[in-house]
Structure 1
Amino acid sequence: MTAHSQDVRQLFGRVAVLLGGSSSEREVSLDSGRNVLESLVAAGVDARPIDGVPALIKELQAGTVDRVFNILHGSRGGGEDGVLQGLLEAYGIPCTGSDVLGSALAMDKVRSKQVWQSLGLSTAEFCVLRPGEDLQEKAEALGYPLIVKPACEGSSVGISRVFKPEDLAAAVALAKRYPGELLLERLIVGDELTVGILGEQALPSIRIVPAGEYYDYHAKYVAEDTQYICPGLRQQDDAELGELALAAFRAVGCRGWGRVDVMRDRSGRNYLLEVNTAPGMTSHSLVPKAASQLGIDFSELCLRILRQTLAAVAAP
């Protein structure tokens, strides 16, 4: 073991790379987690994988974990809805990413959009579909085309684009496969962009250009022909988008690192979509692509994220 490796092991202690879990995004999390684990181990960190929250609880009870690199995705068995964060706060174990409040708000697309609206931050018009309400009436009030999505899922799970009334029922049936509220949102026609957040910094934006019509699950994690243009906008526009993304991130109480997804219409107006508090770290993932534009390679990115847990411990 080199002196550097020994210093790193002492600095971070025993690190649990929390991956997998039981959410709808399990496979993506496993892929992300493998990449993070390999990078941390290569850097000399005493890191090992733990699959899901129940397995982590056993390790916490045994006192074998000093900090957690959370790369679980999603809710209800994922690590982005605040449940994991509450557990770790109770044990006094620092964790990468946002705390209970930030995680819970960001995971809930309805509440995060309500916060943004209250602060005058631009987000697409939407309504919540609750049991017993007239589906067609709500959709017509919002206007076609629209998007139907589960309020608490990620990775484009359960999302449909609806252009005419006769397709609405099937879209709602798909979204209802997932727990929680359903969201109807006005479809913004334009460019899809994303902004990574690292500490107090907005990374260069990425404009996503799928080979197909939409940036769906296949385009995100399977296809090799999706284009990622970084920076996604000209300098001044990119700076303005970065400011909006940081404001949205802070508004819902997030911290550490994350990713803010945005639609930009043909007139150049930006609309906030959602915040991801444990973004993907796969070969197709966007935060590593943006960080690389600033000379931050994958290994350094993982270490910077992990170092944020030291600041969390030092905070009063």
Structure 2
Amino acid sequence: MKIGLTYDLRSDYLAAGYSEEATAEFDREDTIAALETALVDLGHLTDRIGHARQLVGRLAAGDRWDLVFNIAEGLHGIGREAQVPAILDAFQLVYTFSDPLVMALTLHKGMTKQVLRDAGVPTVEFAVVAGPEDVRALAFPPPYFIKPVAEGTGKGVSAASIVRRREDLGAACRNLKTAFQQPVLVERFLPGREFTVGLLGSGREARVLGTMEVRLLAGAEPQVYSYTNKAQYEERVAYRLVRPGEDWVVARSEELALRAWRLLGCRDGGRVDIRCDAEGRPQFMEVNPLAGLHPVHSDLPILCTALGIPFVQLIEQIVASAAVRIKACPLPRKQVLQAHAHCHRP
């Protein structure tokens, strides 16, 4: 297949003056190179497209692909991860990972938790705080855990995310909202074990790949898988492969993760993060349907390495999952484009 690659290259945004933290979710050149190498090794032709605006330019020039391997995070707005999928849907081009609805929903952590809570998935008490009135209306007691409602890679998460007194919550939320210009998700703090569950596939074909327990080392910011801890994971974090047959908490976490993945309609591959409450019961934290794919530093490939799965095999399975949708296109793309042109003739 001819596979186009859509992505946001971190170095481009740093050169344009964006900060290290603002570009934390974007990909490094070696991630794109590793992905391209894996696809070529699998027998595909690759074409680097780039970010959303570059994609628009290529489409306007008439370029098309059999499949687009999309890892573009987007830059502006809570729906930014939906931008590239929406453009590709408009041209009836098949792409990896989730559709615009799922991407927009799951980046908003509060809405995601509301959907899953209403479906009966265990998730700790939470509220989205947009102003002082929301703090006053909060119905559950401290300690709290706060983070921006629509960021990834641990952005905005630090030791200060744990707020132990209600009287400190207003100022803490105000500071975070000012820093990230978005509402704040407030959850009851979960003191227990933390897991990240890898998943592959879509719908009923989705399955759990495996689970890692996230353990903070002595030099880490305590009790929180923070932005700094993630950035310096080699010194601050230990990832331990855990098995459902050996630990009922892991088994329950994997059941919860797979149920959330299917309920949300996530596709092809990604991660669900789980943390346990004081009684050791797993609770849904968040889902990442556009997980990092650096072959060494990203959580999903780290999990694959622990399982003995080569990076190229991970990419192969993601492509195979997405390629099923190529056969499902209702009309050949040429016919769709011809029909569209006919409808707009004067």
TM beyond 0.5: yes
**Residue from 206, 214, 222 that aligns with 2:212:** 206
Deviation at 1:261, TM superposition (A): 0.6
Deviation at 1:41, TM superposition (A): 3.6
With over 3 angstroms needed to count, the CA separation of the structure-2 counterparts of 1:232 and 1:28, relative to structure 1, is farther
Distance in 2, matches of 1:47 and 1:221, equals 30
Distance in 2, matches of 1:79 and 1:105, equals 8
1:128-147 → structure 2 map (5 Å cutoff)? 128-131=128-131, 133=133, 135=135, 137-138=136-137, 141-147=139-145
Q: Deviations over 1:149-194 (max 9, x none)?
A: 2211111112322123336414431233324432211110011111
Contact 2:132 2:170 in 1 (8 A): no
Report what 2:175 is aligned to: 173
With over 3 angstroms needed to count, the CA separation of the structure-2 counterparts of 1:93 and 1:26, relative to structure 1, is farther
Deviation at 1:106, TM superposition (A): 1.3
Partner SS state of residue 265, structure 2 = coil
Report what 1:311 is aligned to: 324
**Residue from 267, 270, 276 that aligns with 1:264:** 276
Partner SS state of residue 210, structure 2 = coil
What TM-score, normalized by structure 1, do the two folds share?
A: 0.86
The residue type equivalent to 1:13 in the other structure is K
CA RMSD across the alignment: 2.6
Runs of 4+ aligned residues of structure 1 deviating over 4 Å after TM superposition are 21-25, 77-80
Deviation at 1:118, TM superposition (A): 0.9
Query: Which is worse superposed, 282-291 or 295-304?
Result: 282-291
What TM-score, normalized by structure 2, do the two folds share?
A: 0.79
With over 3 angstroms needed to count, the CA separation of the structure-2 counterparts of 1:305 and 1:287, relative to structure 1, is same
Report what 2:93 is aligned to: 93
Contact 1:262 1:270 in 2 (8 A): yes
Deviation at 1:265, TM superposition (A): 2.6
User: Is 1:298 paired with 2:297?
Assistant: no
The residue type equivalent to 1:184 in the other structure is V
User: Is 1:118 paired with 2:115?
Assistant: no
Distance in 2, matches of 1:112 and 1:279, equals 16
1:38-117 → structure 2 map (5 Å cutoff)? 38-66=37-65, 67-73=67-73, 76=76, 81-117=81-117
The residue type equivalent to 1:220 in the other structure is K
Contact 2:196 2:213 in 1 (8 A): yes
Q: Structure 1 vs Structure 2: percent identity of aligned residues?
A: 31
The residue type equivalent to 1:101 in the other structure is L
Partner SS state of residue 251, structure 2 = helix
Contact 1:258 1:276 in 2 (8 A): yes
Distance in 2, matches of 1:69 and 1:40, equals 10
Contact 2:8 2:74 in 1 (8 A): no
Distance in 1, matches of 2:240 and 2:322, equals 31
With over 3 angstroms needed to count, the CA separation of the structure-2 counterparts of 1:134 and 1:260, relative to structure 1, is closer
Contact 2:123 2:285 in 1 (8 A): yes
With over 3 angstroms needed to count, the CA separation of the structure-2 counterparts of 1:251 and 1:178, relative to structure 1, is same
Unaligned 5+ runs, structure 2: 331-346
Matched pairs, number? 303
1:278-293 → structure 2 map (5 Å cutoff)? 278-282=290-294, 283-293=296-306
User: Is 1:274 paired with 2:271?
Assistant: no
Contact 2:6 2:51 in 1 (8 A): no
Report what 2:339 is aligned to: none
Unaligned 5+ runs, structure 1: 1-11
Rg comparison, structure with higher value:
2
Report what 2:341 is aligned to: none
Report what 1:161 is aligned to: 162
